[in-house]
Structure 1
């Protein structure tokens, strides 16, 4: 009978394979446990204080869907901490409620805090991954940021002052003709300035296709930031059908995303066509396209598209919001309006409109502009940052991958810096020791690159409107003022809710100045 016993060589190989397999199992099982224990040993420090969550889902039910900045402020006071913590399933959320915390983390440790979370509602569902505000921190972001700086550093923005002044004068004319359409006029002016800078395109006063396109794109961003947050906090929702509870934004995004694509491509194609015909006006897009050599790579062409599109989308939306807040503030606070107008009459006189050269001699007007930006900031909550590695702050453990939110509202309503923070009081900025924080424009390396132009545009517009018009509440049939509510929308950009106001020339002389502005070069 033939033996079936395996040879020693075969036994050796089989036993080696068995031992290797066993060791693989041991290593696969033990290594994660080892690193877990090491992590636990490192993580002996507590998380920052915050609302106590439920098992598994954490603080899903605690996360606010409206006016998040107010909830985060309340948490800071409730837990007596300038940094608070929540957890949504496996995602840690850290909110910074003070200048001290944002300076220490976003500024001094910017290499750790300059990344962005994926934000799939914005980057994937509505296809805005090209917007520099949402780019992850890395080579592409640094390249695009450098291009932005070339066009928007303080000296570069001086070339845009004549365009800003011309658009402001046109705004005055439009307000004189149809004051009830002031919201449309403010949006037109904001788009007129940035569209000219980004693409060299003059837009039509009414029904302009580029303005309409931008409006649809902005609607997509607003919808994503309000109703798409589920996909940002719970990424597995990306794999669920639109009819699943909480995933309905998928259906809306499929309609909105093509508008984003067109926003990126259409004005860019218009500039390319104008360059080919030799009729292009100087612009950021024109200079970038001209700088392309030979057959451009996909990355080079994407840069040439994305940079001006980001400029336009960001600039038009934010400045329009700030101007609407100014109009609301003037309706609600007539004493501040009168004091600013008295200063303009005294310094500039009534024979001309203010110019950029008047800024240093109109301190109260400048203080009023700052108070508009502080009273209700355009972006009360900054676009979230992402923590790149484990960190420790004030004895609290901050885990890698955390979503870190700068609560701009909290910084600008800090009672220790701005007494009576909810009060609209420009006088606070007449004190040279009181400064408007840069947090108005974001944090750290992610601060808005267009902030210098935004400041100059806000100043000349507000000074000119104050010089020319009286802004007041509308009245009922008995002449009783109808004061609007101090209500604002929720989203990445926050607007005053629609309100009525009366806009009238301050005098016949002021009306004459406005009419003369129509013929100004």
Structure 2
């Protein structure tokens, strides 16, 4: 005979088994139209399947195992959809951008890239486009070149600190830090430049800048929204653009240590144009196709945002028979897209020549996002990164450090950097060092 304790335990077990059976059967019926993904657990779904590091690799594996380029995870009842191919990303984020242009609610980040889709975002986007479209971005070339020349002088005077030099003017924090720590930084990047430039305009000492131009255009009686836009555009440029440029240049340094033959070929092309007697500038761009190919390969080989910035679908949608529920977080796996072996043979190899064939692959624009959420500062970002790369190639050699071989291991987070970046930086010649010194003060 069973005692009461045993009966209670048996009854509880039976109830648990019945509940789990009903939940599992309901889940199978309820989720049968979702894209494939890892097996879900009751209640928590795929919470324990979500990767803490290198998510781009895990999500690609899910696609490979399921045979589907779109995969789904249920995280405590919230839907996450990952796009692992250019085909899926273009179909949903580009062609159906009217329903895929929202963002998940990043409550701590009230700047352009994280704003929800709506009137305020559209107004900010128009203002940003006015100052950073392909044509207007060229106006900032003199300032970009000044920054590059300061970087060169810092590399000359303190080559061991090259990682820190990449960040000079640039925020030291990265997006992977806790949102609460970022909140005062984000606010400061909106408020501080506006206040300083406004004071300089009143004193007649302001230098030309986006902020000065926007404040001057306000006119009389600006609304609160008008003033907010003049703060948000420069803040978004600084916050979203600086860390991404640092990440791209860090990948360039890593690639040069791993692929010295690429460095030599790029330097030979630069030398053929400048004859080693001057620093290259934007007027040389058309004569340096291999350097541009190096930049393309930097953006492809390890995108600065390997999982992009998440979108949010605003209404139920269907892709190839699979339901994507309204409110789902949609993640473009840019890393997987850029390493598709069909589009990019030998995808793990840093190989600029792939961009110089008769029918090259599509430019790595996925590195800058999709649809209505594509990075509006991409023109300036490309030019700024190109200017730094071509001038570093002209003046410095980048070599591995003895007994400390470079490793292609990257941090996880919205913006991704080489986990360890060690290199030996030295001038290519006395002439190259003299060219750097001739740009101004030797170091900052």
TM-score (norm 2): 0.89
1:179 — aligned with what?
159
Deviating more after overlay: 289-298 vs 264-273: 289-298
**Residue of structure 2 aligned with 1:164, choices 144, 152, 160:** 144
* CA–CA distance in structure 1, aligned partners of residues 140 and 33 of structure 2: 50
8 Å Cα contact 2:401-2:422 kept in structure 1: yes
Query: Residue by residue, what CA displacement relative to the aligned partner does 1:233-271 show, whole Å, maximum 9, x if unpaired?
Result: xxxxxxxxxxxxxxxxxxxx2x55333333322222111
**Residue of structure 1 aligned with 2:368, choices 429, 441, 445:** 441
Matched position secondary structure for 1:154: coil
CA 1:118 to 1:361, structure 2 compared with 1: closer, same or farther past 3 Å? Answer: same
1:456 — aligned with what?
383
Q: State the Cα distance separating 1:346 from its structure 2 match.
A: 2.2
The count of aligned residue pairs is: 414
8 Å Cα contact 1:43-1:397 kept in structure 2: no
**Residue of structure 2 aligned with 1:345, choices 271, 276, 289:** 271
1:152 — aligned with what?
132
2:398 — aligned with what?
471
* CA–CA distance in structure 2, aligned partners of residues 338 and 162 of structure 1: 28
Q: How does 1:93-172 map to 2 (within 5 A)?
A: 93-119=80-106, 123=107, 127-129=108-110, 131-172=111-152
**Residue of structure 2 aligned with 1:223, choices 155, 169, 177:** 177
Any runs of at least 4 consecutive aligned residues in structure 1 with deviations exceeding 4 A, and if so which?
A: 42-45
Q: State the Cα distance separating 1:62 from its structure 2 match.
A: 0.7
* CA–CA distance in structure 1, aligned partners of residues 79 and 349 of structure 2: 34
CA 1:349 to 1:519, structure 2 compared with 1: closer, same or farther past 3 Å? Answer: farther
* CA–CA distance in structure 1, aligned partners of residues 32 and 420 of structure 2: 47
Q: State the Cα distance separating 1:43 from its structure 2 match.
A: 8.0
**Residue of structure 2 aligned with 1:392, choices 289, 307, 318:** 318
**Residue of structure 2 aligned with 1:408, choices 325, 334, 341:** 334
Q: State the Cα distance separating 1:486 from its structure 2 match.
A: 1.5
Q: State the Cα distance separating 1:295 from its structure 2 match.
A: 3.7
Query: Residue by residue, what CA displacement relative to the aligned partner does 1:164-217 show, whole Å, maximum 9, x if unpaired?
Result: 1222122111111111111121111xx3xxxxxxxxxxxxxxxxxxx5xx43xx
Q: How does 1:207-246 map to 2 (within 5 A)?
A: 214-215=171-172, 218-219=173-174, 221-224=175-178
Q: State the Cα distance separating 1:297 from its structure 2 match.
A: 2.5
* CA–CA distance in structure 2, aligned partners of residues 169 and 461 of structure 1: 8
Matched position secondary structure for 1:222: coil
CA 1:45 to 1:397, structure 2 compared with 1: closer, same or farther past 3 Å? Answer: farther
* CA–CA distance in structure 2, aligned partners of residues 296 and 178 of structure 1: 47
Query: Residue by residue, what CA displacement relative to the aligned partner does 1:426-446 show, whole Å, maximum 9, x if unpaired?
Result: 111111422323101011110
1:498 — aligned with what?
420
* CA–CA distance in structure 2, aligned partners of residues 497 and 86 of structure 1: 28
8 Å Cα contact 2:127-2:229 kept in structure 1: no
Deviating more after overlay: 158-167 vs 96-105: 158-167
1:257 — aligned with what?
183
1:20 — aligned with what?
none
8 Å Cα contact 2:45-2:76 kept in structure 1: yes
Q: State the Cα distance separating 1:347 from its structure 2 match.
A: 2.9
* CA–CA distance in structure 2, aligned partners of residues 387 and 274 of structure 1: 43
Larger radius of gyration: 1
1:201 — aligned with what?
none
* CA–CA distance in structure 2, aligned partners of residues 436 and 391 of structure 1: 28
Deviating more after overlay: 287-296 vs 164-173: 287-296
* CA–CA distance in structure 1, aligned partners of residues 121 and 317 of structure 2: 23
* CA–CA distance in structure 2, aligned partners of residues 495 and 109 of structure 1: 31
TM-score (norm 1): 0.76
1:80 — aligned with what?
67
* CA–CA distance in structure 2, aligned partners of residues 305 and 57 of structure 1: 41
Query: Residue by residue, what CA displacement relative to the aligned partner does 1:67-92 show, whole Å, maximum 9, x if unpaired?
Result: 11111111110111110011112211
Matched position secondary structure for 2:48: coil
* CA–CA distance in structure 1, aligned partners of residues 177 and 439 of structure 2: 38
Matched position secondary structure for 1:345: helix
Matched position secondary structure for 2:49: coil
Q: State the Cα distance separating 1:465 from its structure 2 match.
A: 0.6
Unaligned runs of 5+ in 1: 1-39, 192-210, 229-252, 476-480
2:250 — aligned with what?
324
* CA–CA distance in structure 2, aligned partners of residues 362 and 283 of structure 1: 30
1:197 — aligned with what?
none
Matched position secondary structure for 2:177: helix
* CA–CA distance in structure 1, aligned partners of residues 424 and 79 of structure 2: 47
Query: Residue by residue, what CA displacement relative to the aligned partner does 1:329-380 show, whole Å, maximum 9, x if unpaired?
Result: 1111111101111122223311112121222112211111111111111000
RMSD (Å), alpha carbons: 2.0
Q: State the Cα distance separating 1:45 from its structure 2 match.
A: 6.7
**Residue of structure 1 aligned with 2:219, choices 293, 297, 301:** 293
Matched position secondary structure for 2:397: strand
Query: Residue by residue, what CA displacement relative to the aligned partner does 1:303-352 show, whole Å, maximum 9, x if unpaired?
Result: 11111111111111110111111111111111110111112222331111
